[in-house]
Amino acid sequence: MKVFLKIHYKNEIETVACCDEGLLEQVFTEGNLKIKITNQFFGGTLVTVEEAIEILKHASYFNIVGEYIVNEAVSCKILPIEGVRSINGVPMAMKMMF
């Protein structure tokens, strides 16, 4: 399985955006929650899930969406299952270090 991965830089802060390959340019809503998987934010390089996990292990900030990448991040203990939220059945998680 492949995922899109893009690294954003702002004020010396790196934020990694990553989503499952099939989710790009989709919108998911549930109640008052909504997430747009835009090419502008998530559409970077197509990489393997394993390559993405190696990058996420070192990231202070990330935003991940999709069953494959989120499940692998939980399996690799990058984030706890309690940190995962689903919107219309699509899992997502964020990591922010303060």
Q: Which CATH number covers residue 53?
A: 3.30.1860.10
- When divided into structural domains, the chain yields a total of 1
Which residue range(s) make up the domain with 12? 2-95
How many angstroms separate the CA atoms of 78 and 70, rounded? 9
Radius of gyration, CA atoms only, the chain: 12
64 and 93 Cβ atoms separated by less than 8 Å: yes
Residue that has been written with the tokens 């990591």 in this structure: 95
Closest Cα to residue 19, out of 59, 56, 54, 68?
68
pLDDT digits (tens, 9 = 90+) for 37-78: 999 999 999 999 999 999 999 999 999 999 999 999 999 999
| 96 confidence band (pLDDT: 50, 70, 90) | confident
pTM above 0.85, yes or no: yes
Rounded to the nearest 5°, which phi and psi values hold at 37?
Answer: -95, 80
